[in-house]
Amino acid sequence: MLDNYRDDTGNPSIFKSVVEAEKIIKNKYQDKEYSYFSGMEDYNSLAVKLLLGDDSVFICQKRTATVQAVGGSGALYVSGKFMAQFFPGNTCIYLPQPTWANHEAIFKFVGLEVAWYRYCDPKVSKLDFEGLMDDINKIPEKSIAFFQGCAHNPTGVDPSQEQWCEISQLVKKRQLFPVFDVAYQGFASGDFYNDAFSFRTFLQDGHKVAILQSYSKSMGLYGERTGSCTFIADCKSEADTILTQMEEIIRKTYSSPPIHGSRIVVEILADENLKYMWFQEVKMMSERLKAMRNALKENLEKAGSKHNWDHIVHQIGMFCLSKLTPKQVKKLTDDYHIYLPADGRISVAGLTTKNVQYVANAIHEVTK
């Protein structure tokens, strides 16, 4: 099963809002010029507004330092490199266990130390909130704490709003610097505002944070490599300094980001009609994912499975940690040609109304 979003025909459809934006771009621009090191200015300002809200006090007070990034991975790289060089505390970043594999790889590569806090036990497929709080409480003060803003990959398990509030207080008590990876805004609840709850709560609680954004999934711009990296500073002059340092990193790494994806994002976010169209499309995707989760559980029960599959519908977003063992996963692949990683992570977007019964029957057979 694939990692990217697929529609109910199993194909990687292009968003209608993106098609419309590309028509505008074709007439509007007759150049392939370089962008600034930090990317297009309009892009950066619209990208940060989507994260923080149009009337955010941090934007009004010019306390945001945003650069366009080469996808979410590029944002991880730039933020990591910046923190490895300039973070004044302990340059160890604490990641949820488990998390997307590239988090550890990128942060180690840029020179940060990596450690872990408990997040979700794959055998139970539930947030280990006690373990998480216990581990975060033991992180040395002035270290970096890393979170996924919503629709956690690979578990599909997010803290509740009340739990985010408690985590924010604890992170404050420990004087940690929180970094949020936001690769799936809109996918969890179908609503961009709701899906910003985690990092907006931390900001309200007075944290300075970093927010790393990707449009790969939320606008289907995978190959356009479109993301952003924002640090919130104490004041404008600190934000300006951070921006200069990030520009320096970009200059020495790839000089400047690509322009096509950011032009698409600007056309969509700056136009109320296109933006509305895009929000509706993301909502539809989020609803399709929920419908596929329900269909998988229902079909497993119909096939006669006696296991409890509630976690499939309790988890959210694109991924589902199924609780299948590596042996069961291998059997699914060998006998049924269903492909998923050994940790049992199902990409829910790979399910369609046509294949969900086949997948459910196969899972039932290997878990008997």
Q: Which residues of this protein are in contact with ligand PMP, per CB under 6 A?
A: 71-73, 100, 148, 153, 181, 183, 214, 216, 227
CB of 112 to ligand PMP, least distance (A): 16
Would you say 72 or 344 has its CB closer to ligand PMP? 72
Rounded distance, CA 159 to CA 142, Å?
23
Give the residue numbers annotated as catalytic, written as ranges: 100, 181, 217
Identity of the residue, 76 or 233, whose beta carbon is nearer to ligand PMP in the bound complex = 76
Question: Which residue number, 73 or 262, has a Cβ lying nearer to ligand PMP?
Answer: 73
Is residue 8 within 8 Å of 292, Cβ to Cβ?
no
CB of 335 to ligand PMP, least distance (A): 28
Place of tokens 């923190």: 83
Closer residue to ligand PMP in complex, CB, 282/366: 282
Tell the smallest beta-carbon distance from residue 232 to ligand PMP (Å): 19
Closest-by-Cβ residue to ligand PMP is: 72
| Cβ proximity to ligand PMP, 73 vs 305, nearer residue | 73
User: Closest approach of Cβ 31 to ligand PMP, in Å?
Assistant: 25
Cα–Cα distance for residue pair 352/288, rounded to 1 Å: 9
User: First CA to last CA across the chain, in angstroms?
Assistant: 22
Among 147, 129, 120, which residue's Cα sits nearest to residue 345?
120
The residue written with tokens 């985010």 in the block is 164
Q: What are phi and psi of 243, to 5 degrees?
A: -60, -45
Asked if 296 contacts 359 with a C-beta cutoff of 8 angstroms, the reply is yes
Q: How far is CA 45 from the centre of its chain?
A: 19
Least distance from ligand PMP to the Cβ atom of residue 216, Å: 3
Alpha-helix residue ranges (DSSP H) falling in 5-122 = 16-28, 41-52, 57-60, 71-86, 101-109
